[in-house]
Amino acid sequence: MKVFTALVVLLIGSSPLLADESFSQFKLDLMLAKRGDAGAQFYVAIGYEEGRGVQKNMVKAVEWYKKAANNKHNGAQYRLGQLYEKGIGVSKSMAMAKKWYRLAADNGSRLAKKRLRQMSSVSTAAHHKASLQKQQEQAARAEEQARKQQQLKQQQRKQALAKKAREEKARAAKARQAALNKPKATAQKTAAKGVYIPGLINVVLKNSWKRNNRPAGLFPSPVNSCLKAGEEIVCFSKEQHRVVAGKQLTFTSKTRIGNFNRKGFTVKYLYNVQEIAPASSRGSSRDPFGLRPQQGWQEPEQSMQCQALSRSKLRCQRNGTSFIYSR
């Protein structure tokens, strides 16, 4: 700076033209700039950009900024970075902006170093945002695909159920037609209830019975311990669970199976509800076997009439409802 000031004083003192008060500062800067002074080139660029001592001209401003920058003037390098970043006087280019910011930073510009850190932070944030957005889009696509697959499965289940219903309806119609075509005596024979099985009490006792593919709650099965007491079978159940009228019931049962004859046998049973708790589902409003959301032994004793359809299948009826048991 001292050299620059001395040179200015020398020039002013040695030239009548420079001693003229009408001679502007811009003209002096321009004279020194043309001689290769980087500082003067920087100020000439500012003059053209801001219109100081000369008409505004961004093309010439950029030209002189580049001359100063190429002479390693860090202020000119930093300003070029700004111009390229904002697209002022030049085509906007983040690559060129970063290039000039790096040169300015390497030449000691703290402003350039700060701006590079800011740009790096913004770039990292933008990358994180883009990555997050990509993850969200992928998750949304996966969710949409899962939803479509679920809809397809539901549609396939509905179609399968509809097909099954049609087939069952067709079978029922065929069976009705076959029954109408059979002689009256055959129809009466078909309508007969149950079959006679000698020693039915032992058939019931010595088998493990199921209803709807689950261990039967009132017959000999994994949930019931049963023994023969004279002409009866007595069963005591393990702890069982059932939802009735929105309540989760924990209960046991005591069953007496007796009155064996040619027509079948009788099942009598008592429920003992040990715990009642809220259930996540409504369940049936009324249990077909008479279980109630009422704690303790539920008297009076319930009963149902049963028949043997074969040695491996039983049919019981209670209040007009039939229950099939198999082994």
Last-in-domain residue among 92, 108, 124: 108
Asked if 105 and 112 count as a contact pair (C-beta separation under 8 A), the reply is yes
The answer to the question of residue 300 being in a domain is yes
For the chain, the domain total comes to 2
3-state secondary structure of 43: helix
The answer to the question of residue 215 being in a domain is yes
CA pair distance 75, 105, nearest whole angstrom: 10
Asked if 61 and 23 count as a contact pair (C-beta separation under 8 A), the reply is no
Asked if 247 and 273 count as a contact pair (C-beta separation under 8 A), the reply is no
Last-in-domain residue among 108, 141, 163: 108
Q: Model confidence at 282, in pLDDT bands (50, 70, 90)? A: confident
Please indicate, yes or no, whether residues 206 and 318 belong to a single structural domain of this protein. yes
3-state secondary structure of 56: coil
pLDDT of residue 177: 87
3-state secondary structure of 59: helix
pLDDT of residue 165: 92
The answer to the question of residue 64 being in a domain is yes
pLDDT of residue 235: 93
For residue range 302-323, what is the model confidence (pLDDT) as tens digits? 999 999 999 999 999 999 999 9
On the question of pLDDT at 269 being above 70, the answer is yes
On the question of pLDDT at 6 being above 70, the answer is no
Q: Which tokens go with 57?
A: 């001209």
**Residue 58 belongs to a domain with what CATH number?**
1.25.40.10
The answer to the question of residue 141 being in a domain is no
| Angle at 186 (CA atoms; ends 317, 304), nearest 5 degrees | 10
pLDDT of residue 274: 92
Last-in-domain residue among 71, 91, 108: 108
Per-residue exposure over 155-191, b if at least 16 CB sit within 10 Å of its own CB, e if not: eeeeeeeeeeeeeeeeeeeeeeeeeeeeeeeeeeeee
The answer to the question of residue 226 being in a domain is yes
pTM (2 d.p.):
0.43
Q: Which tops the pLDDT comparison, 284 or 112?
A: 112
The answer to the question of residue 143 being in a domain is no
- Tokens 């004859």, residue? 261
For residue range 167-224, what is the model confidence (pLDDT) as tens digits? 999 999 989 888 787 655 444 444 456 888 998 999 999 999 999 999 998 999 999 9
Cα distances (Å, whole numbers) of residue 246 to 219, 268, 282: 26, 26, 4
CA pair distance 92, 188, nearest whole angstrom: 98
Please indicate, yes or no, whether residues 208 and 314 belong to a single structural domain of this protein. yes
> Over pLDDT 70: what percentage of the chain?
89
Domain assignment of residue 232, given as a range: 200-326
On the question of pLDDT at 127 being above 90, the answer is no
pLDDT of residue 193: 67
pLDDT of residue 285: 84
The answer to the question of residue 148 being in a domain is no
Q: Which tops the pLDDT comparison, 186 or 270?
A: 270
Please indicate, yes or no, whether residues 213 and 320 belong to a single structural domain of this protein. yes
The answer to the question of residue 180 being in a domain is no
Q: Which tokens go with 240?
A: 């069982």
Q: Model confidence at 87, in pLDDT bands (50, 70, 90)? A: very high
Biggest CA-to-CA distance, the chain: 146
Average pLDDT rounded to a whole number, residues 102-110 = 96
On the question of pLDDT at 16 being above 80, the answer is no
Mean pLDDT of the chain: 87
